[in-house]
Structure 1
Amino acid sequence: MSNYPRDEFDAIEEHSARHGVHRSSLDPQRRSLMPLMVVGVVALCVGLLAFFIMPKMFNTTTPPAAVVAQSSTAAPSATAAPATPSAAPSTAPAETPTPTPTPTPTPTPTAVVDKTVPVAIFNAAGVSGLAASYAGRVQADGWMVSQSANWAGQPQATSVIFYSDVAQKGNAEALSALLGIPALLETPELGVPLAVVLGPGA
């Protein structure tokens, strides 16, 4: 039997668990706890950050600036003077507004007709007996006729009732309605209070 020199493969420990060059150790290796501790510390830091820092960064319940300003301005006034107590609710019934009456227009007083004022009747139409005919109608209505004659003034184009002043206007209007003569003219030149001048077509 040949004797070979001893090498590294011939040195075998008595209690070694290795059984060959390509066999892995059969003893379970102890795992290190350092990575697990690092992961735990990092997780703890993340949790603390999320609990304390994140709510302040994303706080949506902050009151608006207008509300903060209002509360800051209302605080001194509340401390400056105490609020007066509100009055007790009134038990009296509310007064209903009275409607304002609309003013009724006052009727214009009608002019007083004085039929005792003498009326002069003149014929300017050239028709015989015309003045006497109208004088009869005026007297039948209660008027007093002072004279009935032909017209000696300027020719008239139509019938006219003359009155001397404003006080006789009511009487002139009454004669106008009675005789159907719409033309009225104020003039003191005739010297009579009322004068009926009968023109063409009367």
Structure 2
Amino acid sequence: MPKSTYPRDRFDDVSADADRVGVHRAENPRLRPGLVILWSAVAAAVVIIVGIVGTLAVTGRFGAPEAGPTTAAPTPGVTPIIDTSFNVLILNATGQSGQATRAKDAVVKAGWHSDAVSPGEAGSTYPTTTVYYADAADQAAAAGLAQIVGATSIVLDDQYQTATDAKGKQLTVVLGTDLVDSSSPSPSS
């Protein structure tokens, strides 16, 4: 193979003891693991706090608490109605299993579609069987549901309202220990 020769230029005269080699390569900075972990923890805390505050703001539960729930039995001026357009959440807070299913059967028998009624267990016991509704205009429907399940009070409060059902088309029944302590063995229809 023929050896080609190129004319000399200024790069042929680079001294061997120069600090830089190539195109200005610098050594990598030393990583400090403690600092990396600290910044990661701070970033995670900020993301968590922003997520909590954002969730509270989106669901409307951010800010000072309101005056509290308005507890009232069906008032004489309200005529209870059976409005089956509501979804019904039934929480068993009696301490006895099977009460939510019995209440669901009574609600379905009153005209609700089985898919619109969700029974479940509460995390603790509650003394009074109560129907919760989220909008003041729904008081008559809550009173009608209270008659079906044997509730002794209805409460205007959105604490059980789901974020996906923001329009308030849900009634929540919390079955209390008064339901099993009373002489009536099950919710009436």
> Relative contact order (alpha carbons < 8 A, sep ≥ 6): 1 or 2 greater?
2
Larger Rg: 1
* TM bracket (short chain): 0.3 to 0.5
For normalisation by structure 1, the TM-score amounts to: 0.42
For normalisation by structure 2, the TM-score amounts to: 0.45
